Amino acid sequence: MTGQRTPGFNTLAIHAGAQPDPATGARVTPIYQTTSYVFDNAEHAAALFNLEAFGNIYTRIMNPTQAVLEARVAALEGGTAALAAASGHAAQLLAFHVLLEPGDEFIASRQLYGGSINQFNHAFKKFGWNVVWADGNDPASFEAAITPKTKLIFIESIANPGGIVLDVPAIAAIAKKAGIPLLVDNTLATPYLFRPKEHGADIVLHSLTKFIGGQGNSVGGILVDCGTFDWMKSGRYPTLSQPNPSYHGMVMAETFGNFAFAIAARVLSLRDLGPAIAPLNAFLFINGVETLPLRMARHCENALAVASWLEKHPKVGWVNYAGLPGNRYRPLAERLVPKGAGAVFTFGLKGGYDAGLKLVANVELFSHLANIGDTRSLIIHPASTTHSQLTPEQRALAGAGDDVVRLSVGLEDSADIIADLDQALAAA
């Protein structure tokens, strides 16, 4: 893809980062199922290990199949570089490992995936990284939470499980004013609906497991470096701005410029912590991303139809889908995600906790499981599953109260999706 014209999103989803295999002419990117790679000579090996040349050393650090996936997602998000990892949680770990030191703080929206809340509240504390919670519905709460120890703001563009739309530009302006990077988990929106870089984000994260892959057959995560943050300016990010002893005093930000974060995450954090993505999974995600725009359009169309039907059902107390007229997030959705409000949303059952358990036990077309973003329609009762480790107060703040049911609306005929919910609600 050369020349003056910038390819469109659909074209990038199919072609970005890939060429026919030079050894065989294979048009589809092969699965490079290898642990290591032959060096040309001793000088070539030394140049690779010293970061004086780009190339493959060991699949824990990078792999040619992985490289195509990274280039493609970076192109879709408008970033300078990307790094794929074994899971979305692994990608978060790598990002925080680059940016934070023991004793540092970061601010996160309360409206997050339950696994991220647990990771931040418990696992990250063992590294000395301390979370301060803010209200994703109130950008001013992020500014109020900033202290001299704050090194990062973390949000989801469309929050899981509630499906709420956050005012990313407003939060980005607060981060910029404070001189700290904004990391946006864009899993639910995908770059088809929303590109965080265009609204002030510095780093973008995806659980590839969800809509990017779209098939529910593999686990992975990815970080995208937007190339927008000046890591040298404040001196508060020593991994990037100070000489690194493991690379003979190299300063990552000086050497690699606007993709220094992605390089540091690979050659320092991934190298030593080790959550590498499997080549087979990278291959499956490449295949998935090729149909991303087609799938997301259908996901959004079906989700709106299902949410509109649920809103009128006598056993449903409320529906929170930003695509619905009158929803509190509709103005933000029209401004930030005009192509659709995604496929994940929540609704509340008038029968509360017990009704939620009965509903998920009686679906037939829907699958009751802990995932989102599949071609298949998925359902879960967060209070008894994904958010069950949280206190009732934490669940309520995260949008996962006792009456809440989360749907990930798939690609089936919308009439069949609605019919299954209708019979399950009758049984509940």
Longest dimension (CA), the chain: 73
Q: Distance between CA atoms of 182 and 171, rounded to whole angstroms?
A: 8
Residues 298-307: tens digit of each pLDDT: 999 999 999 9
Alpha helices in 183-321, H assignment, sequence order: 190-193, 238-241, 252-256, 260-264, 271-273, 279-289, 292-310
Long-range contacts of 365-369 (CB under 8 A, 24+ apart): 365/412, 365/416, 365/417, 365/419, 365/420, 366/407, 366/417, 366/420, 366/421, 366/424
* Token pair for 198: 């265009």
Q: Distance between CA atoms of 156 and 108, rounded to whole angstroms?
A: 9
Predicted pLDDT at 394: 80
Tell me: pLDDT of 238 over 70: yes
Asked if the domains 9-288 and 292-427 are classified in one and the same CATH topology, the answer is: no
Q: Which residue has the tokens 């490449």?
A: 286
Residues 296-330: tens digit of each pLDDT: 999 999 999 999 999 999 999 999 999 999 999 99
Tell me: pLDDT of 1 over 60: no
Contacts of 334 (CB under 8 A, 6+ apart): none
Beta bridge partners of 378: 367, 408
Please give the mean pLDDT across all residues of the chain. Answer: 95
Q: Which class does domain 9-288 fall in?
A: alpha beta
**36 pLDDT band (50/70/90 cuts)?**
very high
Map out the domains of the chain as residue ranges: 9-288, 292-427
Residues 119-161: tens digit of each pLDDT: 999 999 999 999 999 999 999 999 999 999 999 999 999 998 8
Predicted pLDDT at 163: 87
CATH code for residues 292-427: 3.90.1150.10
Tell me: pLDDT of 162 over 90: no
* Type and span of the H or E element at 151: strand 150-156
Question: How big is the chain, counted in residues?
Answer: 428
State the pTM of this model. 0.95
* Token pair for 362: 């009686």
Residues 75-129: tens digit of each pLDDT: 999 999 999 999 999 999 999 999 999 999 999 999 998 889 999 999 999 999 9
